[in-house]
Homo-oligomer: A and B are copies of this chain.
Amino acid sequence: METTPTLPDNPSFNVLNIPTSDQPRLVIVGGGFGGIQLAKSLRGKGFQVVLLDRHNYHTFQPLLYQVATAGLEPDSIAGPLRRMMQSTKDFYFRLANVNRIQTEERILETSLGQLRYDYLVIATGSRTNYFGQEENFGKAFPLKQVPQALDLRSQMLQSFEKAVISSDLNERKELMNFVIVGGGPTGVEVAGALGELKNHVLPSDYPDLDFRQMNIYLVEGNTRILAGMSEKSGEKALRYLKRFSVNTLLERTVTSFDGHQVVLSDSTEIPCQTVVWAAGVRGNVFQGLPEEAIDRGRIKVDSYNKVAGLDRVYALGDVAKMESEDFPQGHPMLAPVAIQQGQLLAKNLKREQKGKTQIPFQYKDKGSMATIGRHRAVVDIGKIRIGGIMGWYIWMFVHLWSIIGFRNKLVVFWNWVWNYFTYDRGTRLIIRPYIPRDNVEKG
């Protein structure tokens, strides 16, 4: 592998067509929360910035579950990356995957060809973690990307269309049972949204189906849900889920799923065709990084987001494992961490150029929250715990505030108002096969 011919550091031979610049070239891999925050914070700070992403849009992942459950249109939660960086000087976006890094030569091997960097920031985020059981759960639906959310939405709606005409009792069970694996925020929010669909939306669309037969199971290996939040909020969430007819099965894991039946660790068998996999994520790492820099799928960084043992290479957000006294297992994989690291890294890069000392990262915890269907959410802010309808209002405000772009804010707001008053879902389109599953699984 070391014999791969390297590009001469000659700007005229540049397959990605990025002009030479008198500013050093900083390449950001990944247009998630961390990557775009960094790109924005670096505006006019003396770097040529090249952003690579395999999609041409940023995904507002906290609302992906609403796309999957027909509450929002995909375009509302995605921001075209080129628009977000419009009129930024010496900035270049390229639609590309990174396969490998050659750290010695400072070269990235991308799907478009090789690219030289002066500085590199790895902000590739996280991918679905099957804990080495990809084969057992290849038929489960992950929920990390827009195409996956659309695929899950179509699968769910198709299940009811099939259930309507099914006279086989067992098949009907398979079609109307939904199993969600993982009791973190994504799993809880999907379960709550499905519960709301069951109680309020679907019965009027499918008057010939008996929705008492629709069962939603949330399976969590731990003794509680929302392990990242306070115990009080976890308990509250459990109660809210119950109210939305979700069966939460704690201290159990899923051992197999063949497309028709889920088997749990206590041998429970659930006939089911739709399994949502929200059990875990791991860092999205490409090849060529030194082995000692990788720890459980994440890249080890110091408190300045610098990758251990490499020069001018940084990692931030979900993919970065920054240990500290408060977070001995690394910081949580949350959007605020990525955003704050992006902000600080931009500042530190500038300070480095000026010969100033670096500022170590200090996470400002803005709190965490999860919503469970209509009128219910749990919110932890510092020592404060808020639940119920008040939590729900806070949840909505924070998400509307954070979503990128004035246009998206209004479209999302309008959809929520509509859904709230009409108990309707605008976006019940079955468009399948949306994208070959194998293609989106990667990453």
Interface residues of A (CB under 8 A from B): 15-17, 19, 55-57, 73-76, 78, 80, 82-83, 86-87, 92, 94-95, 112, 146-147, 150, 157-158, 161, 164-167, 204-208, 405, 407-408, 410-411, 414-415, 418, 422, 424, 426-436, 439
Contacts and interface: CB of A to CB of B under 8 A. Distances in A.
A78 B429 contact: yes
B431 A433 contact: no
Nearest to A433: B435
Given A82-B205, A95-B158, 4 more contacts: A56-B161, A82-B206, A83-B428, A95-B430
A208 B19 CA distance: 10
A166 B73 contact: no
Nearest to A426: B407
Contacts of A57: 428-430
B414 A208 contact: no
Nearest to A92: B208
A80 to B, nearest CB: 4
Nearest to A88: B207
Contact of A434 (B82, B424, B427, B435): B435
Contacts of A208: 17, 19, 92
A143 B439 CA distance: 25
A16 B165 contact: yes
Contacts of A426: 75, 405, 407-408, 411
A1 to B, nearest CB: 25
Contacts of A112: 165
Nearest to A202: B82
Given A92-B208, A205-B86, A407-B418, A428 B56 contact: yes
A206 B81 CA distance: 11
Nearest first, the 9 closest Cβ-Cβ pairs linking A and B are A80-B428, A82-B205, A75-B427, A73-B75, A17-B165, A95-B161, A56-B430, A73-B73, A57-B429
A157 B56 contact: yes
A414 to B, nearest CB: 6
A418 B411 CA distance: 11
Nearest to A85: B205
